[in-house]
Amino acid sequence: MLFLYNLLLLFASQIVKVAALFSPKIKLFVAGRKTVFETLESKISLSDKTIWFHAASLGEFEQGLPVMEKIKEEFPNHKIVVTFFSPSGYEIRKNNTIADVTVYLPLDTKSNAQKFLKLVHPDLVFFIKYEYWPNYLNELKKLNINTYLISGIFRENQAFFKWYGGFYRSALKTFDYFFVQNESSKLLLQKLGFNNVKISGDTRFDRVVAILERDNSLDFIKQFKNNTTTIVIGSSWPKDESLLVNYINQTNEKVKFIIAPHNIKSEQIQELKNSISKKVILFSEKENTDLSDYDVLIVDTIGILTKIYSYADIAYVGGGFGNPGVHNILEPATFGIPIIVGPNFSHFAEAVALVHQEGCVSIANQNELNDAFSNLISNEDIRHEKGHICSTFVQMNKGATDVILKHICNK
């Protein structure tokens, strides 16, 4: 089976090179891997001690960040190496301050795995949430390098738990320990005979709790808000925006809107701006302007949404009309803000929990969106109640990082 896997991987690597000619994202995927080994050779010496974290993309990096920070405190003499599989993670976080070296993960061939591990020679390895690369894992096992899965989550429909999943299950045998998010994940692993597993919870809670300790002030948002009830719309997609724009254009409520779309391509930003009939301005147009005069601010940049949530009275988190579903609701939740999402949230445990606890409201159509906004805008007590549910939920679920570090460091 491993032979077939390697053959398919070789075939896929050639297909990707052709696809790179037509897709900017795939072009980054291919081009970014060309200098990985050169970068590693220049930044890591044979005498260096290293610890390697692998994240599939941006979300997994953010998930692993609290553990990276604690590991760096516990092992100050080690270099931190972070790898990404996806351009959407690497391109945004390639200049992060936590890692000493940040690169793409070379494709999972045996020769790549051997060369990568020879150059990095890590003492500890952490895979974040998922991605199980057989050749890398097999080589780690051969070299007796302690390898951990953190914030892991398993579901019955995954290949590991199917009759044909023997090849995938063998990859799991290479891990020294599994730190999983919930009881069901632990039980699924135990059914396969894995007892080297502990429920640690989700490290994302630790990350969003830490957000409260930093300076989240943005003077231009304060000026725009101008002590007015403000709805922050984060990571919106066109299906979200079609409903939201209808509401924005027809509402008579005294309320302001900040929209931070998932896609900030200029043509789509301009199309969104043109669809709004109220007084609207872009982030890129804000200089030398009195923002308090505007009703809608569209954020055509990245990296500041988390801080913007700190000014919200109500949050709408996008993605819930697509697949796999809603984006990160924990960032607004940590600020104690009531949240509205679309109908597709069942793949995300925190969203399921907060909808059940009524801190988060799920809507499926225009009328439900209108009612949810109107209810929260007009009733401050309900806003505070739902916001309190959200912030309490985050605080009650923090601590995963400490569980992991206690085990790793034998404390």
Q: What is the pLDDT of residue 282?
A: 97
pLDDT over 70 (residue 411): no
Under 8 Å between Cβ of 298 and 321: no
Spatial contact of 275 and 298, defined as CB atoms under 8 Å apart: no
What does the pLDDT average to over 271-281?
97
- Which member of 38, 60, 350, 385 is catalytic? 60
Domain with CATH 3.40.50.2000 in the chain: 215-396
The tokens for 90 are 């690497």
Q: Which has the higher per-residue pLDDT, 362 or 26? A: 362
Rounded-to-5 percentages of helix, strand, coil across the chain: 50, 15, 35
- Flag the least confident range among 11-15, 54-58, 316-320: 11-15
| Per-chain mean pLDDT for the chain | 95
Pairing verdict, β 296-298 and 256-261: parallel
The domain 215-396: what is its CATH number? Answer: 3.40.50.2000
What are the two backbone dihedrals, phi and then psi, of residue 290, each rounded to the nearest 5 degrees?
-80, 100
Q: At the top level of CATH, which class does the domain 23-201 belong to? A: alpha beta
Q: What is the pLDDT of residues 89-115, one digit of tens each?
A: 999 899 999 999 999 999 999 999 999
**In the chain, where does the domain assigned CATH 3.40.50.11720 lie?**
23-201
Residue 210 pairs in a beta bridge with none
Alpha-carbon separation of residue 185 from 72, 171, 195, 198 (angstroms)? 28, 16, 12, 10
Average pLDDT over residues 364-369: 98
Is it the case that residue 178 has pLDDT exceeding 60? yes
Q: Is 62 a catalytic residue?
A: no
